[in-house]
């Protein structure tokens, strides 16, 4: 009567052995740019995702991208960089368990609430890079306030060299389902289609492949998110546009992708913009206004009034405002 229990014991022992076989999860993970030894300086991190060689053949896309917020995702107009600083001063340094008492205590994990989207490749750098970024932002602020333009310009240039460039989208973040589609390779750029040809004219990225998600909304949803990032020790949310897309736009019968509206129909290509571009704002909201005069009678008092009826229809793929 005891043998079923013995069999169960054997199965439990066998399970770990199967999981530690020749093919652990993440086949190919170590062949990615992200898996290389972590960058120790801003310069090293910039060099790892250096997209300069793309410009020669993809000049138009580069020019478009240069006008976009992606090209200055960390520095922005200065306000984005200062918000990193505010998050440290008003957030991390006030929280009892963050481990941050001053700027130099900041580590990569402390910045990922912002950097997950503003600089996802920061995950491929050491804590020294996180500190360098934070101290550079602080030094830029000081130089700006002291009207030390040369120093401010120099630091702005350094901070602006960190951005969402060609290789972040067309390599590092080009594949979301890595077990299904494989990890992004260090010799490959990923686009909408490869035209069946895998040869790519570049000394380093000698191959090209189609990314299965490059034209899908989920690609943008990696950053333009859903809500609290629960994978973080201290969840936070900034952009929630993809959540709105999934749970409000699609249920209303929407079927366009982010790329269709923001890149194709807008004609803006890699200059991906939102409401401040007229191409986007013109088509995002319809406003219908009807007015009439009515002489209102309140008991014995006649009071003329104007009635104004306004209908606003959001044609975008997410709530407005959102991010």
Provide the binding-site residues for other proteins, judged by CB under 8 A.
83, 86-87, 90-92, 113-114, 227-228, 234-238, 240, 244-245, 248-249, 252-254, 275-276, 281, 285, 287, 289, 291-296, 301-322
Closer residue to other proteins, CB minimum distance, 78 or 191: 78
Closer residue to other proteins, CB minimum distance, 95 or 179: 95
Closer residue to other proteins, CB minimum distance, 203 or 288: 288
Among the listed residues 249, 187, 263, the one whose alpha carbon sits nearest the alpha carbon of residue 219:
263
Encode 257-266: b = buried (16+ Cβ within 10 Å), e = exposed.
Answer: bbbebbbeeb
How buried is 13 (Cβ within 10 angstroms: 0-12 exposed, 13-18 middle, 19+ buried)? exposed
Closer residue to other proteins, CB minimum distance, 203 or 311: 311
Give CA–CA dist 116/219, Å, rounded.
Answer: 14
For residue 69, give both structure tokens: 């917020």
CB of 144 to other proteins, least distance (A): 18
Closer residue to other proteins, CB minimum distance, 76 or 191: 76
Alpha helices in 34-107 (DSSP H): 42-48, 59-66, 79-86
Closer residue to other proteins, CB minimum distance, 161 or 236: 236
Helix (H, G, I), strand (E, B) or coil at 122: helix
CB of 134 to other proteins, least distance (A): 14
CB of 254 to other proteins, least distance (A): 6
CB of 258 to other proteins, least distance (A): 12
Among the listed residues 111, 109, 112, the one whose alpha carbon sits nearest the alpha carbon of residue 85:
111
The DSSP bridge pattern shows strands 207-210 and 188-191 to be parallel
CB of 267 to other proteins, least distance (A): 20
Give CA–CA dist 207/199, Å, rounded.
Answer: 5
CB of 92 to other proteins, least distance (A): 8
């Amino acid at each position: 009567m005891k043998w079923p229990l013995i069999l169960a014991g054997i199965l439990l022992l066998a399970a770990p052995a199967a999981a530690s076989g020749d093919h652990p999860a993440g086949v190919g993970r170590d062949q990615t740019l992200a898996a290389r030894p972590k960058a120790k300086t801003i310069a090293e991190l910039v060099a790892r995702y250096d997209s300069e060689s793309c410009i020669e053949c993809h000049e138009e896309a580069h020019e478009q991208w240069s006008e976009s917020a992606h090209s200055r995702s960390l520095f922005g107009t200065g306000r984005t960089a200062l918000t990193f600083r505010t998050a440290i001063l008003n957030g991390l340094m006030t929280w009892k368990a963050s481990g941050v008492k001053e700027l130099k205590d900041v580590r990569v994990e402390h910045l990922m609430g912002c950097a997950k989207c503003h600089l996802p490749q920061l995950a491929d750098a050491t804590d020294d890079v996180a500190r360098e970024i934070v101290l550079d932002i602080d030094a830029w602020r000081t130089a700006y306030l002291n009207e030390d333009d040369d120093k401010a310009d120099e630091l702005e240039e350094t901070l602006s060299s960190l951005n969402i460039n060609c290789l972040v989208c067309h390599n590092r973040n080009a594949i979301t389902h890595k077990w299904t589609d494989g990890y992004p390779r260090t010799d490959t750029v990923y686009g909408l289609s490869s035209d069946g040809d895998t040869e790519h004219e570049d000394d380093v990225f000698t191959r090209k492949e189609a990314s299965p998600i490059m034209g899908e909304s989920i690609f943008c949803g990696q950053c333009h998110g859903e809500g609290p990032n629960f994978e973080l020790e201290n969840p936070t949310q900034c952009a929630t546009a993809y959540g709105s897309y999934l749970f409000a736009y699609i249920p209303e019968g929407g079927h366009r992708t982010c790329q269709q509206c923001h890149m194709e129909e807008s004609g803006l290509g890699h200059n991906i913009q939102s409401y401040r571009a007229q191409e986007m704002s013109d088509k995002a909201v319809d406003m219908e206004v009807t007015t009439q005069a009515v002489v209102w009678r309140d008991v014995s008092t006649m009071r003329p009034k104007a009635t104004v009826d306004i209908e606003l229809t959001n044609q975008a793929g997410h709530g407005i405002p959102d991010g």
